[in-house]
Structure 1
Amino acid sequence: MTKLVLWDIDHTLMATGGLGRELWAQAFEEVTGVEMREQASVTGSTERVILRETARLHDLPYSDELFESFARALGAVHVRRAAELRERGHALPGAAAVLARLAEQGVRQTVVTGNVRRAAEVKLAVFGLDDYLRLDEGAYGEDGEERPELLRAAMARSSTRREDAVFLGDTPADVAGGLEAGVQIVAVATGRTSAEELRDAGADAVLEGLTDTEKALAAIV
């Protein structure tokens, strides 16, 4: 049985109903004093990269200090607007059931996400998904820029070998990151990428969604 399941969050376990960009823009303006006119591509990327590229689009200098301030602001915005997130967003169909069944089987689970940690915690708690996850063993936007770096960080924190880990994500970037990190990859076509595209990217298994609990469990473990 797989010893560690690593979950992406956005469009794999949950969706924000469009609120995510609003929260991001609010934090950006709070730390830069500049209204966000446009945001760099977010699909499969990390907050650190998105912030650096969005700052560039606004002719603003980027620094580690800016990212640290932004991470705090983004986490705080999620805390303040958690009720709104609950109203507008939702856990993806079947996500809670798969998490629960894996937990019942004694499978360790955590997250590997480009979100900053506090924002990730709020998102998961709002939809009741955090109880199944060992969040201290996960990796977040503060831990690096690319998926392979984050996957390695999570495996190091959990003392897990790459052959004992499986990563679930919804983008070609997730698949590429898993391939580079040497972990098993189960892609879920619940985001903007089709199942065929995820197969072509090199995923070991592809699910149309998480509603078929037994099928999902079979692919994961």
Structure 2
Amino acid sequence: MPELVLWDIDHTLMATGGLGRELWAEAFREVTGVEMREQASVTGSTERVILRETARLHDVPYSDELFDSFASALGAVHVRRAAELRERGHALPGAAAVLARLAEQGVQQTVVTGNVREAAEVKLAVFGLDDYMQLGNGAYGQDAEERPELLRVALARSSTQAKAAVFLGDTPADVAGGLDAGVRIVAVATGRTTVDQLRGAGADVVLDGLTDTERALAAIKS
């Protein structure tokens, strides 16, 4: 069993049921005064990159100060609408069971996500997934722009060597980040990317989901 299991959040552990875009648009309008007409691609990206590209699409000047304000607003809107997220979203089938079994075996778990930290914490808490995580050791959208850097941040905070860690995610960007950071990758085809696409991206193991707890655990420790 690895010393550390790193988890992506969106479409790996949970889904927002479409609410995520609404919350994002609300925070964007709050900090820019502009109604969001379109959003830059979010798959496998981080909030900093998504904000910069979305701002460009709306001719809004981007700055680090804008991101800081946006991160605060996005976290706050997740807190305000947590009950709605609980109603419309859901933990992905089998996610809680795998997290619980790993925790029972004493495996350290945390997240590597493009979400800003407060939003990530709300997403995990509303579906009861936060109890299994050491969130202080995770890496979030405020920490870096790309997955490799995020993974290295989480490894450093967890005091774990890359070879002793496993990363679970659902996008080619997750796979590429894991390869760059030197961690083993278990990809789950629970998002918009197929099993074949994830395998082609270079994942060590690809699962079609987490519903088979024993199979998921075997993949994580193989």
Same fold (TM over 0.5): yes
Percent identity, aligned pairs only? Answer: 86
Deviation per CA, 1:18-76: give whole Å up to 9, x if none. Answer: 00000000000000000000000000000000000000000010000000000000000
Alignment of 1:168-207 (within 5 A): 168-207=168-207
Q: Which amino acid in structure 1 is aligned with residue 78 of structure 2?
A: H
Provide the alpha-carbon RMSD of the alignment: 0.3
Q: CA deviation at 1:216?
A: 0.1
- In 2, distance between residues paired with 1:80 and 1:60? 26
Corresponding residue number in structure 2 for 1:47: 47
**Is 1:109 matched with 2:109?**
yes
Q: Which amino acid in structure 2 is aligned with residue 164 of structure 1?
A: A
- In 1, distance between residues paired with 2:29 and 2:169? 29
Alignment of 1:1-221 (within 5 A): 1-221=1-221
* Structure 1 runs not aligned, ≥5 long: none
Question: How many residue pairs were aligned?
Answer: 221
- In 1, distance between residues paired with 2:140 and 2:167? 14
SS in structure 2 of the partner of residue 154 of structure 1: helix
- In 2, distance between residues paired with 1:180 and 1:41? 22
- In 2, distance between residues paired with 1:174 and 1:54? 21
Moved over 6 A (4+): none
Q: CA deviation at 1:96?
A: 0.1
SS in structure 2 of the partner of residue 118 of structure 1: helix
Q: CA deviation at 1:211?
A: 0.2
SS in structure 2 of the partner of residue 175 of structure 1: helix
Deviation per CA, 1:167-215: give whole Å up to 9, x if none. Answer: 0000000000000001000000000000011000000000000000000
Q: CA deviation at 1:89?
A: 0.1
- In 2, distance between residues paired with 1:29 and 1:175? 32
* Structure 2 runs not aligned, ≥5 long: none
Deviation per CA, 1:78-133: give whole Å up to 9, x if none. Answer: 00000000000000000000000000000000000000000000000000000000
- In 1, distance between residues paired with 2:215 and 2:75? 35
Q: Which amino acid in structure 1 is aligned with residue 26 of structure 2?
A: Q
